[in-house]
Amino acid sequence: MTIFLILAPYGAFATLMLVTSATVSLLCAALICLGVIAFDIARGRSIKILGVGSVIVFTAVGSYLTFVDATPSTIAVKIAVDAGILLVSFASILIGHPFTRQYALEQVDAEIAKQPGFLTANYLITGAWTAATLLMLIGNIAVLYVPALPLWTGLLIAFAARNAAVCFTRWYPQYRAAKYGTPPAGALPSR
């Protein structure tokens, strides 16, 4: 369910871009992000870096289209969104708080979160999502600047990149647990 909630705004944005204006698509995606944030708050969970960053990105691009220039193409809008999400993801790594860590802390036991490799695992998983976002950005740029490429090329790249990131997110924690196991209770650092 967590991955569904994380991806819902982006799925809605991509789907709505096929049937309505970019401004409406961006507004709906921002509202879904706000709904996910409200859902997290209602359940006593933390406000997520990715959620807030996504609201800012969708709102900023939507505001630009509304108040500055309404003429960018669908692909240009997707590029702007992808670039904004890439910035949010990469910034979370640079500031030392990979965005996946917030989700992981709500999913695992406190003992697992204290393990030495927990933060490293979250850097790798956030890196996978950052790479997926970069691939989506490159795919949309390619569609924009290589007119011979069909529009579905960008969609195919986005679908493949997101699915690869989802699969890695599910696989890697299980791999680490199988490879390293749970350390003895005394081996965990006390903080």
Write out pLDDT tens, residues 55-111.
999 999 999 999 999 999 998 999 999 999 999 999 999 999 999 999 999 988 888
The span from the CA of 92 to the CA of 90, in Å, is: 5
Q: What Å distances lie between residue 160 and 1, 133, 148, 166, CA to CA?
A: 20, 11, 21, 10
Task: Tell the residue number behind the tokens 């997101």, with chain if given.
Answer: 162
User: Which pair of tokens denotes residue 171?
Assistant: 């696989």
Domain boundaries in the chain? 2-179
The span from the CA of 80 to the CA of 64, in Å, is: 11
The span from the CA of 60 to the CA of 26, in Å, is: 9
Write out pLDDT tens, residues 126-172.
999 999 999 999 999 998 899 898 878 888 998 999 999 999 999 99
